[in-house]
């Protein structure tokens, strides 16, 4: 007798054979895995069975609740402003959190944003912010709540107490080819977001080569699943499906994305970054019940920039320090005059990663100055010989593999058929 309610092998067999797991089976397996009773190899087999067989809505809801219950759920009820967060499923050049969090805070909401570091070709918000001298990602729960009240926006690392089952399971999925299961992605993201304690949530679900979800049907299913999970846990949740076939903005890296975000906060910046920042800000303010505030005005008149400065300074960042610059650059120029018709997000993400902006393993360091600056975006007219892409790194030996990633990733032609940035809204 083990004293355990179930046997892991029976749970695995049920899902392997296409059956439905019961609530007690799910609650047990998630808890027993967190306690170390269910072994990694057993959870790997179960994750693969889930990837191949899927889960119904009740199984996903119970799995998510079990992951939340594996740790603490932050209580933000004492925060005086309405709380609202956003989550992006990740993309190339996706620096939107940087201008968005202070902007929404400047409009009267509180934005509690627990973020991650990048893995693979998609950048992590914490990596970008860590290029600011002195800025620190680690805050205690108390510091988190105080900053939320005083400044209105916090972007920091999630503490160990939040959804520990997910931390363990995500690391396992990463090395067992089981990341791409919609039930597992949805429960992983939503368990952390629900445990974070925000009252409303806006999801930016990316679609395209640079995203997890390569086609709109999959992205829609992921979005729908997450919206339903949020609702079921009392979090007002909406999702925007947005294009990630080409990078967002004109930079992909760390410090260079902070620089671009500062341009947006100063009232300028690339049109697509501004458009998405405002679209998400409007959804967040709606979720927070602040429907009569205009975020475009807060961007234009400097209020969002003031909140950015307070937010960075509260976490030790020197807002006036110059940002690290890469030592070496290599420029790709336009071979002919015309219109840039295509610039592939995945290729740019992989190139930035190979230049040192991203990491291959969780414990690897990232280079603050490395990345890709895009001097043209799809739809822009270019003239022969003008710079198209500028590769930046501290280690010139990295250029060759970064250039290889960019082979066939862009085209100069006659006219570009442009995709809208916001593809759909789900609530």
What is the set of active-site residues?
87, 166, 173, 188, 192
Q: Is 338 helix (H, G, I), strand (E, B) or coil?
A: strand
Window 177-216: contact mask with ligand URA (x via CB under 6 A): --x----xx--xx---------------------------
- The phi and psi torsions of 346 (rounded to 5 degrees) equal -60, -45
Residues 164, 72 contacting (CB under 8 angstroms): no
Which tokens is 372 given?
């890709």
63 binds ligand URA (CB under 6 A): no
User: Is the CB of 104 or the CB of 184 nearer to ligand URA?
Assistant: 184
Per CB under 6 A, which of residues 93..152 are in contact with ligand URA? none
Parallel, antiparallel or unpaired: strands 236-243 and 200-207: parallel
Does residue 208 come out as left (phi exceeding 0), alpha (psi in the -120 to 50 range) or beta?
A: left
Which one of residues 6, 170, 308, 410 is an interface residue with ligand URA (CB under 6 A)? 170
State the Cα–Cα distance between residues 230 and 224, nearest whole angstrom: 10
101-133 in b/e form (b: 16+ CB < 10 A) is: bbbbbbbbbbbbbbbbbbbebbbbbbbbbbbbe
Does residue 408 come out as left (phi exceeding 0), alpha (psi in the -120 to 50 range) or beta?
A: left
Per CB under 6 A, which of residues 352..371 are in contact with ligand URA? none
Does residue 421 come out as left (phi exceeding 0), alpha (psi in the -120 to 50 range) or beta?
A: alpha
User: Is the CB of 244 or the CB of 343 nearer to ligand URA?
Assistant: 244
User: Is the CB of 61 or the CB of 179 nearer to ligand URA?
Assistant: 179
User: Is the CB of 154 or the CB of 184 nearer to ligand URA?
Assistant: 184
User: Is the CB of 105 or the CB of 189 nearer to ligand URA?
Assistant: 189
Distance of closest approach, residue 35 Cβ to ligand URA, in angstroms: 21
Q: Give the DSSP per-residue string, 230-264.
A: HHHTT-EEEEEEEE-SS-STTEEESHHHHHHHHHH
Distance of closest approach, residue 111 Cβ to ligand URA, in angstroms: 18
Distance of closest approach, residue 311 Cβ to ligand URA, in angstroms: 23
Window 223-262: contact mask with ligand URA (x via CB under 6 A): ----------------------------------------
Number of residues that bind ligand URA (CB under 6 A): 6
Distance of closest approach, residue 166 Cβ to ligand URA, in angstroms: 7
Distance of closest approach, residue 74 Cβ to ligand URA, in angstroms: 17
C-alpha angle 203-116-108 in degrees, rounded to nearest 5: 55
Distance of closest approach, residue 188 Cβ to ligand URA, in angstroms: 3
Q: Given the rule CB under 6 A, which residues bind ligand URA? A: 170, 179, 184-185, 188-189
């Amino acid at each position: 007798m083990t004293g355990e309610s179930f046997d892991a092998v029976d749970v695995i067999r049920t899902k392997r054979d296409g059956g439905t797991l019961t609530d007690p089976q799910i609650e047990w397996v998630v808890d027993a895995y967190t306690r170390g009773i269910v072994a990694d190899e057993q959870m790997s087999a179960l994750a693969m069975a889930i990837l191949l067989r899927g889960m119904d809505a009740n199984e996903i809801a119970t799995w998510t609740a079990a992951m939340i219950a594996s740790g603490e759920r932050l209580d933000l009820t004492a925060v005086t402003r309405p709380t609202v967060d956003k989550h992006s499923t990740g993309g190339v050049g996706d620096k939107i959190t940087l201008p968005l969090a202070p902007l929404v805070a400047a409009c009267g909401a509180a934005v509690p944003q627990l973020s991650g570091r990048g893995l693979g070709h998609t950048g992590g918000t914490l990596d970008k912010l860590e290029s600011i001298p002195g800025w620190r990602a680690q805050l205690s729960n108390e510091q988190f709540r105080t900053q939320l009240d005083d400044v209105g926006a916090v972007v920091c690392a999630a503490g160990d107490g939040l959804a520990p089952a997910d931390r363990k399971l995500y690391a396992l999925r990463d090395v067992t080819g089981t990341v791409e299961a919609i039930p597992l992605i949805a429960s992983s993201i939503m368990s952390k977001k629900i445990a974070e304690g925000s009252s409303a949530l806006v999801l930016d679900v990316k679609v395209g080569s640079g995203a997890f979800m390569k086609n709109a049907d999959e992205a829609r299913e992921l979005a729908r699943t997450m919206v339903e999970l949020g609702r079921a846990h009392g979090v007002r949740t909406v999702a925007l499906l947005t294009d990630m076939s080409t990078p967002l903005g004109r930079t992909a890296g760390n410090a260079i994305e902070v620089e671009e975000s500062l341009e947006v906060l100063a009232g300028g910046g690339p049109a697509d970054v501004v458009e998405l920042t405002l679209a998400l800000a409007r959804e967040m303010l709606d979720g927070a019940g602040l429907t009569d505030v205009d975020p475009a005005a807060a961007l234009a008149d400097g209020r969002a920039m003031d909140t950015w400065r307070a937010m960075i300074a509260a976490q030790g960042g020197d807002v006036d320090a110059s940002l690290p610059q890469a030592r070496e650059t290599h420029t790709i120029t336009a071979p002919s005059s015309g219109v840039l018709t295509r610039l592939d997000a995945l290729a740019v993400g992989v190139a930035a990663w190979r230049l040192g902006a991203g990491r291959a393993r969780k414990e690897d360091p990232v280079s603050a100055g490395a990345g890709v600056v895009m001097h043209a975006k799809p739809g822009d007219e270019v003239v022969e010989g003008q710079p198209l892409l500028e590769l930046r790194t501290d280690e010139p030996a990295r250029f060759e593999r970064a250039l290889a990633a960019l082979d066939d990733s862009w085209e100069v032609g006659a006219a570009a058929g442009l995709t809208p940035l916001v593809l759909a809204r789900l609530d």
